[in-house]
Amino acid sequence: MNKINTLFWAATGLFCLWMLLNAFAYLTAAEAKRLCAHFGFPDYFRVELAVAKIIGVIILLIPYPIKALKEWAFAGFTITIVSGFIAHVCSGDSILSSASALLALGLLATSYYNYHQIIYIKNESSSSI
């Protein structure tokens, strides 16, 4: 259980830090504004995306929220990352320059898998009592 917890919190912590830095950049950096225009997104979309990422990070970092909320956060981040990857590629960016999205997806998948391992172990230990 210790290894699973460590993997979960390491992957989740790195992913959440990444998303918070990304959200901060969406709200403050001219490059983020330019990137959204490059993708053909309206300017308000980057603000919406930043707010959604901050909310998602909070949900992922709360140790025991309602399980459905955490599932929605994982799903939302998955959709956001996959959509971001597609936006990069379809806007003419190289696969290599878009690959950071795949790294983020790997961190998210690691977090998700270990989250479910933790839930499974807790359910098994409570049912054996």
Whole-model pTM: value is 0.90
Residues 24 and 69: beta-carbon distance below 8 Å: no
Give the other-Cβ count within 10 Å of 79's Cβ.
Answer: 10
Question: What are 25-41's pLDDT values in tens digits?
Answer: 999 999 999 999 999 99
Question: What are 46-75's pLDDT values in tens digits?
Answer: 999 999 999 999 999 998 768 899 999 999
- Distance between CA atoms of 76 and 19, rounded to whole angstroms? 12
